[in-house]
Chains A and B, each alone.
Chain A
Amino acid sequence: MFLKDYISDVYNGVASLLKGMRKTGYYFTHSKEIITEQYPDNRATLKLADRFKGEVVMPHDDNNEHTCTGCTACELACPNGTIKIITKFDITPEGKKKKAIDAFIYRLEMCTLCNLCITACPSDAIKMVPNFEHSVFDRSKLTKILNKPGSKIKEGIE
């Protein structure tokens, strides 16, 4: 009885191993079905999803104009204090004072990419872009000023 169990154990063990190895052998010989992407080598063709949340940017048009009014809705919506908006008062040609952003400070190292600032923005001034290669040598380089130098607010945005 012991011998019978022993032999059947050995038989079942070998059979189940071969069954599993047939599966791995199949993929060993069918290399086209392997879907591994060799990341640094395929950077030219790598395409991330359009909605991938990688980094907050502020789009500027050709005239170096953005649509941020400096309402600080994103600053209030941010759970981590990632965004800090410094405002100034521009003098319009009519001689009136107008609120405008001086610096839109964005700290990528504190950002959890939760998208709450984007949904809070009433004038679609900021958006998420699928950049993911964020490694830098110094942490201070992750603190970014999103509005470009010399940029101003687009006409007609209040």
Chain B
Amino acid sequence: MYNETEIIKDTTELGPDGELVINMGPQHPATHGVLHLVVTLNGETIKKIEPHLGYIHRSIEKMCERLTYRQFIYVTSRMDYLSSHINNTACALLVEKGMQIEVPERAKVVRTILNELTRIASHELWIGAMAMDLGAFTPFFYAFREREMITDIMEDTCGARLTMNYIVPGGLMYDIHPAFQTNVKAFIKQFKEKVTEYEDLVTGNVIFQSRTKGVGVLTAEDAISYGCTGPVARASGVSCDMRKIAPYDAYDRVEFDEVIETDGDSFTRYLVRVKEMNQSIRIIEQLIDNIPEGEFVGKTKNVLKLAKGEFYQRVETARGELGVYIVSEGGTTPYRIKFRSPGFSNLSVLNHISKGSMIGDLMATMGTLDLVIPDIDR
């Protein structure tokens, strides 16, 4: 039926200049979710990467428009599920800002501690998963050992391990667990002892270094023009920590350094995240002994109604800047809600920084961008 040349043309999909188009994903172990990358290759060199989104689109923004200001917070846990606590905080802060709800000091401090614990847990998972992308299987278990302590703390206090929904407009849903402080202190002690193990296993490893150093270099100008935030931009020397720029909750009263490196390659992004974990520990140490007594939730009305107008709140999640934008018509539900998710901007830079590199380096670049696909698609 077909002559021989036609069959070859059909199966190899060679482009005009001998390009080969391969599909990475949607089901691929290194994309951590259902991300579909259409990679155009010339030999082993990447010519173009085109991310195809929408495989896990749940229209969260539209769903939120149907829910009241108490109800819509739980949905945001499902966006960036690794920093669900911080997403919930962003929404609660916005409702509090719009209604001028007074938040008790106790709630502010507990929120800050839990936010930092979430950040550590997210970075721990990222270290394990990224090392696994690059072929090292063991660090995954070491990272999850410490992460398990955090999820246990979350389970004790919030009642869930991943999608906590512990934050309500006005404070916290219920008071912290009596053993919260002891458990967090035990975690800090163990973390400080064991963090050197990551250094031994991953940071100092020659294979890891040679696979990440100089790979996927992002300059500061590109980071700004693509809207990168979080550790990705900070590794390129851009100061963008929302905890410093626009402090919320109890961040204005704690001392910590914004980790900024200038190299911008994959290894630097790794280092920034490891150093950020130590800074998070520093924040928790300052607050854990000084949780003020008192109410854990402020006085709120039974039915929450935002005034007519527009509201915006931004927080620093484990991946970067999360912005929540609400247009209210004065009713019990938002008229329009928009999330500015950090993952989407960080993904958009992927084509730019991996153009011209080898396909094997794409794993390192993608891993260090720390993509969470439900955050990108929402």
Contacts and interface: CB of A to CB of B under 8 A. Distances in A.
B159 A13 contact: no
B200 A17 contact: no
Contact of B177 (A17, A51, A112): A51
B228 interface: no
A24 to B, nearest CB: 6
Contact of B159 (A9, A51, A79, A116): A51
B200 A23 contact: yes
B70 A116 contact: yes
A143 B87 CA distance: 31
A132 B145 CA distance: 22
Interface stretch (B11-19, B93-101, B203-211, B360-368): B203-211
Contact of A16 (B145, B148, B205): B205
Chain A interface residue number, banded: 20 to 34
A53 B173 CA distance: 13
B70 A23 contact: no
Interface in A11-31: 12-13, 16-17, 19-20, 22-24
B157 A51 contact: yes
A58 interface: no
Contacts of B74: 79, 112, 114, 116
Interface string B49-65: 00000000000000000
Contacts of A22: 200
A48 B151 CA distance: 12
A24 B206 contact: no
A116 B163 contact: no
Interface in B46-85: 67, 70-72, 74-75
A130 to B, nearest CB: 9
Interface centre among A48, A50, A53, A119, by most chain B C-beta atoms within 10 angstroms, is: A53
Nearest to B161: A52
Given A20-B200, A48-B155, A52-B155, A114 B165 contact: yes
A1 interface: no
On chain B, which size bracket covers the interface? 20 to 34
Contacts of B159: 49, 51-53, 115, 128
A23 B201 CA distance: 7
A17 B201 CA distance: 8
B307 interface: no
A25 to B, nearest CB: 11
Contacts of A79: 67, 71-72, 74-75
Interface string B314-346: 000000000000000000000000000000000
A115 B156 contact: no
A145 interface: no
B206 A12 contact: yes
A23 B155 CA distance: 30
A94 to B, nearest CB: 32
Contacts of B163: 112
B155 A77 contact: no
B197 interface: yes
Interface in B186-234: 197, 200-201, 204-207
A123 to B, nearest CB: 16
Interface in A48-69: 48-53
A113 interface: yes
B22 interface: no
Contacts of B168: 119
A35 interface: yes
Given A20-B201, A23-B197, A24-B138, A116 B156 contact: no
A60 B91 CA distance: 36
B160 interface: yes
16 contacts: A17-B205, A17-B207, A19-B204, A20-B138, A20-B205, A49-B159, A50-B156, A51-B155, A51-B159, A52-B155, A52-B160, A79-B67, A79-B72, A79-B74, A79-B75, A116-B70
Interface of B: 67, 70-72, 74-75, 138, 145, 148, 152, 155-160, 163, 165, 168, 173-174, 177, 197, 200-201, 204-207
Interface of A: 9, 12-13, 16-17, 19-20, 22-24, 35, 48-53, 77, 79, 112-116, 119, 128
Given A13-B206, A20-B201, A51-B155, 18 more contacts: A12-B206, A13-B207, A16-B206, A19-B200, A20-B138, A20-B200, A23-B197, A23-B200, A24-B138, A49-B156, A50-B156, A51-B158, A52-B159, A52-B160, A115-B159, A119-B173, A119-B174, A128-B159
